Amino acid sequence: MRLTVDNINPHIVAAKYAVRGELAVKSEEYRAQIAKGEAGDLPFSQVISANIGNPQQLDQKPITFFRQVASILENPQLLDNEDALVNHLGYKTDVVERAKFLLSKIGSVGAYSASTGVPAIRESVAKFLERRDGYPADPSKIYLSAGASSGVNTLLHTICAAPNTGILIPIPQYPLYTATLALLNATAVPYLLDESKNWGTDLETIRSSYEKAKADGVDVRCIVIINPGNPTGASLPEEDIRAVLEFANQENLVVMADEVYQTNVFVGKFHSFKAVLRRLQEENPGKFDGVELASLHSVSKGMVGECGHRGGYFELVGFDPEVEANIYKFVSIMLCAPVIGQCIVELMVNPPKQGEPSYELYQKEYDGIFNGLRERATALHKAFAEMEGVECAEPQGSMYLFPTIKLPEKAAEAAAAEGRTPDEFYCMRLLESTGICVVPGSGFGQKENTLHFRTTFLAPGTEWVGNIVKFHKEFLDKYR
């Protein structure tokens, strides 16, 4: 029997992953067409990939310190001529020192590391967490991964034991979660975020989703929180995090905190689940000791933006050692995370310090990226405010805006005629008219009878923002 879509793994067939779906594929076709000079009658001359948080595909330059160190790690023979490196190529001495340190710990970036990552890098991550949170961190509980996606994959694989295993997932959510649960044939238990409160978590909503799932026979084991939010751009206040931890403690739920946007915060301050948990434990001796927390981070986002290097880590708190042993076994089957990506993790968590030769440039680059992101978020938010039928929460964090759009009935009919949801239809027309690729809200989940799209605010310039405004007006005029 040959393989067909009817006999292969039905869970792959069932899984959905819109971020790289039809729209993304079509946008790549346009890009290839333009690159070959075959743009022909396309009404645009470039494709703007606002569908995916891929900073270096767009404007964002890599941080010089990171890449200088990486270049030496790739070619340690550069150290045979340190003078030329420093005098002719402008490498500072702390670049050379860091590369030597990492090489002394890894041997070669071409060798497999230990399954959970290079021990010295796990120690660096622990020290970073201690500085960030003000509480101890244990290197043996840190697992280096190929981006946070791979960490999420490991954790969900471990937690999901049967089709009725339930995982509380925010809606809207980054579709990695629902896709992975579909692959695992486990149950996503959606809880709605509150758009009227800047996409914050609402405990009553979470509780009622939980109770309903339990009543349906679902064995709910875990709650996922994405903070700052993807696709929402929300940055949670400490109260929300406390409430989630209280609830998880009460109901014995594992807390999975996806904190990959922890440095992309424009309003207020990032509160890590780990720090808030430790505070709760201090304030209530004994009460929160049983909480199981897995928190994830990545080199792909923030001012680092090194997606292509596939680096990240997760930290476990409160897990049973035998469960940890099985997580170890699971990650060891894939051998190890990319070693140069592990090194980028080390550089991210341990950047040049004040007074060190590379500090000034590092800080300048970092601030430049941060301010650029904030400015573009604000510009885009302002543009949305001027568009008829569009409402958008204040940009607080991450790399995304997730506006609500109200579309005329006729547009919904035209969409149905194409077999599409109205938001898909809208995003497809946007791509065809402007070359701008965004992701329809249905790819992330949205409250019934609402429509959204997700756009990154990574693309440089403002012309494309104007093109969205213009398209939107024409679209409304056409289907009014």
Residues in 49-78 at the binding interface with its own copies, rule: CB under 8 A:
52, 54-57, 62, 64, 67-68, 70-78
Count, residues near its own copies per rule CB under 8 A: 98
Which residue spans within 242-322 are E strands per DSSP? 254-258, 293-298, 312-317
* Three-state secondary-structure class, residue 36: coil
> Minimum distance between the CB of residue 348 and its own copies, rounded to whole angstroms?
12
> Minimum distance between the CB of residue 383 and its own copies, rounded to whole angstroms?
25
Binding mask 93-112 toward its own copies (x if CB under 8 A, else -) reads -------------xxxxxxx
Give yes or no for a contact between 306 and 260, defined as CB atoms under 8 angstroms apart. Answer: no
Q: What is the pairing mode between strands 165-171 and 219-226?
A: parallel
The reply on whether position 297 binds its own copies by CB under 8 A is no
The reply on whether position 293 binds its own copies by CB under 8 A is no
Distance from C-alpha of 297 to C-alpha of 20, rounded to nearest angstrom? 22
Quick one: which of 36, 37, 41, 88 contacts its own copies (CB under 8 A)? 88
> Minimum distance between the CB of residue 23 and its own copies, rounded to whole angstroms?
13
When the beta carbons of 326 and 450 are compared against its own copies, the nearer one is 326
Quick one: which of 50, 181, 307, 317 contacts its own copies (CB under 8 A)? 307
Give yes or no for a contact between 349 and 298, defined as CB atoms under 8 angstroms apart. Answer: no
> Minimum distance between the CB of residue 94 and its own copies, rounded to whole angstroms?
15
* Three-state secondary-structure class, residue 169: strand
The window from 9-17, 188-196, 279-287, 442-450 that contacts its own copies (CB under 8 A) reads 9-17
When the beta carbons of 272 and 300 are compared against its own copies, the nearer one is 300
**Counting beta carbons within 10 angstroms of the beta carbon of residue 11, is it exposed (0 to 12), middle (13 to 18) or buried (19 or more)?**
middle
Tokens 């023979």 correspond to 77
Q: What is the pairing mode between strands 439-440 and 453-456?
A: antiparallel
The reply on whether position 281 binds its own copies by CB under 8 A is no
The reply on whether position 10 binds its own copies by CB under 8 A is yes
- Span 202-241, contacts to its own copies by CB under 8 A: 219, 221
Q: What is the pairing mode between strands 187-192 and 142-145?
A: unpaired
DSSP annotation of 107: S
Distance from C-alpha of 169 to C-alpha of 159, rounded to nearest angstrom? 14
- Span 242-271, contacts to its own copies by CB under 8 A: 252, 254
The reply on whether position 290 binds its own copies by CB under 8 A is yes
Integer CA distances (angstroms), 243 to 24, 246, 270, in order: 37, 5, 16
Integer CA distances (angstroms), 410 to 450, 452, 476, in order: 16, 17, 10
Distance from C-alpha of 368 to C-alpha of 162, rounded to nearest angstrom? 47
Binding mask 316-345 toward its own copies (x if CB under 8 A, else -) reads ---xx-xx-xx--xx-xxxxxxxxxx----
Write the CB contacts of 222 (distance below 8 Å, at least 6 apart in sequence).
159, 167, 168, 253, 254, 255, 256
> Minimum distance between the CB of residue 455 and its own copies, rounded to whole angstroms?
17
Quick one: which of 292, 315, 346, 365 contacts its own copies (CB under 8 A)? 292
- Span 133-162, contacts to its own copies by CB under 8 A: 146-147, 149-150, 153, 157-161
> Minimum distance between the CB of residue 399 and its own copies, rounded to whole angstroms?
13
Q: Measure the CA angle with vertex 438, ends 18 and 228; round to 5°.
A: 80
Quick one: which of 15, 280, 387, 469 contacts its own copies (CB under 8 A)? 15
Quick one: which of 39, 114, 267, 469 contacts its own copies (CB under 8 A)? 114
- Span 397-436, contacts to its own copies by CB under 8 A: none
- CB burial readout 369-386, b (16+ within 10 A) else e: bbebbbebbeebbebbee
> Minimum distance between the CB of residue 381 and its own copies, rounded to whole angstroms?
25
When the beta carbons of 2 and 269 are compared against its own copies, the nearer one is 2
> Minimum distance between the CB of residue 58 and its own copies, rounded to whole angstroms?
8
Helix or strand run (H / E) with residue 166? strand 165-171
> Minimum distance between the CB of residue 119 and its own copies, rounded to whole angstroms?
8
> Minimum distance between the CB of residue 418 and its own copies, rounded to whole angstroms?
19
